[in-house]
Amino acid sequence: MPCEGGAVELRHLRYFVAVAEERHFGRAAARLHMAQPPLSQQVRALEAELGVVLLERTTRRVELTAAGAAYLLRARAVLAAVDDAAAEARRIGAGLVGRLAIGCVGSASYTLLPALAKRLRAELPDVDVTCRGEVLVPDLVESLRRGALDLALLRPPVDAPDLRVVRLRRERLVVALPTDHPLARRARVGVGDLRAEPFVLHARRSVMHSLVVGLCRDAGFEPAVSHEVAETSTLVQFVAAGLGVAVVPEPVAALGVPGVTHRPLSGRTRVDLAVATRAGDDAPLLRRALAQLRHLVPDAGVDAGVHGEPA
């Protein structure tokens, strides 16, 4: 029986290696869970295909020829490489190996993102995780769309039907004040108390910029803007320098910038944080990452989210 298709197949290598290691066709056949005659036929077909004798057969034993010994080394290497490739493919298919790119808005960079990165390293040690913090929502959306990011922690609203956006949690808003500011001695600060204050705002393209300006207008005044900045960490540093006050999500307090005091904001006190992925992206690795995120935020998606399916 010739090798099928006139070419050596992996099964022929496995047959030969079993016989070469056992030095006996009967034991090799038992190891391979097959009958001895077909095994002998396949090994002879392999020798015929190669045009060289690999095994010296006697009534008692089977011995390797010099060509057979050399072929055994290469055959083992080929089979090991194939087995390794199969194992790696299964691990990738199971979401245990690969690359994951995560981006997030400023405030999530200080609390949730580090916690998520730590959990992913512990639970998925063979995954290459890259993180980008302090990114504005429009840039996160664009990066998701072009595949530069796989997952983004951002603030709604997000007008992007091609993305799946699910609320993670609602965060309190606080007022960041210079520590020596008179309002820093209060237990709580209202938006109206900031009427005469200069504001340090997030950049105009950010959700927080629109939110803070809207809060001020609802309170009957237009905020006097001293500076606009893209990064939340820079915004808080400007507050510490006495350049103005700022309204920020509560996790920003985790920065612990000297010279800044945070006080709860009266009235509307919360802002949403959501997770966004590409709609229809059901990659195993992404599913595993979202599962780890749910461990950190157990109630994520419970209230039906923002739009799309629960993460």
Confidence of residue 2 (pLDDT cuts 50, 70, 90): very low
Which of 206, 222, 226, 193 has its CA nearest to residue 271? 206
Cis peptide preceding 157, ω within 30 of 0: yes
Contact 216, 201 (CB under 8 A): no
Q: For position 107, what pLDDT does the model report?
A: 87
> Quick one: 223 and 134 in the same domain?
no
Domain termination residue (choose one: 93, 119, 139):
93
**Total count of residues recorded for the chain:** 311
> Quick one: 116 and 182 in the same domain?
no
Q: For position 309, what pLDDT does the model report?
A: 38
> Quick one: 140 and 174 in the same domain?
no
Q: Give percent above pLDDT 70 in the chain.
A: 93
Each residue of 18-42: pLDDT tens digit? 998 999 898 989 999 999 999 999 9
Domain termination residue (choose one: 62, 93, 124):
93
Each residue of 187-224: pLDDT tens digit? 999 999 999 999 999 999 999 999 999 999 999 999 99
Distance CA 64, CA 43 (A): 13
Distance CA 260, CA 253 (A): 9
> Quick one: 212 and 74 in the same domain?
no
Asked if residue 308 is part of any domain, the answer here is no
> Quick one: 204 and 147 in the same domain?
no
Structural domain of residue 151, as residue ranges? 98-168+272-296
- The CATH number of residue 149's host domain is 3.40.190.10
Hey, which residues does 105 pair with through a beta bridge? none
pLDDT at 305 over 90: no
> Quick one: 228 and 152 in the same domain?
no
Contact 186, 177 (CB under 8 A): no
Each residue of 142-194: pLDDT tens digit? 999 999 999 999 999 998 999 999 999 999 999 999 999 999 999 999 999 99
With tokens 């039906």, the residue in question is: 304
List the structure tokens of 198.
């200069």
> Quick one: 162 and 292 in the same domain?
yes
Asked if residue 246 is part of any domain, the answer here is yes
List the structure tokens of 268.
């509307």
Asked if residue 164 is part of any domain, the answer here is yes
> Quick one: 290 and 145 in the same domain?
yes
Residue 6, phi-psi category: left (phi > 0), alpha (psi -120 to 50), beta (remainder): left
Asked if residue 35 is part of any domain, the answer here is yes
Asked if residue 307 is part of any domain, the answer here is no
| Torsion angles phi and psi, residue 116, rounded to 5 | -65, -45
Asked if residue 86 is part of any domain, the answer here is yes
Domain termination residue (choose one: 93, 118, 151):
93
Q: Which are the contacts of 210, defined by CB distance < 8 A and separation ≥ 6?
A: none
Total structural domains in the chain? 3
How many CA within 13 A on the CB side of residue 48? 11
pTM higher than 0.95 for the full model?
no
Asked if residue 302 is part of any domain, the answer here is no
Each residue of 68-87: pLDDT tens digit? 999 999 999 998 888 877 77
> Quick one: 134 and 280 in the same domain?
yes
- The CATH number of residue 65's host domain is 1.10.10.10
Asked if residue 310 is part of any domain, the answer here is no
> Quick one: 174 and 260 in the same domain?
yes
pLDDT at 232 over 90: yes
**Could you give the angle at the alpha carbon of 79 between the alpha carbons of 27 and 44, nearest 5°?**
50
Could you tell me whether strands 62-64 and 55-57 are parallel, antiparallel, or unpaired per DSSP bridges? antiparallel
Measured N-to-C along each axis, helices 25-32 and 36-50 cross at an angle, to the nearest 10 degrees, of 100
> Quick one: 195 and 265 in the same domain?
yes
List the structure tokens of 230.
């893209």
**Could you give the angle at the alpha carbon of 189 between the alpha carbons of 184 and 195, nearest 5°?**
100
> Quick one: 181 and 132 in the same domain?
no
Which amino acid is it at 19? V
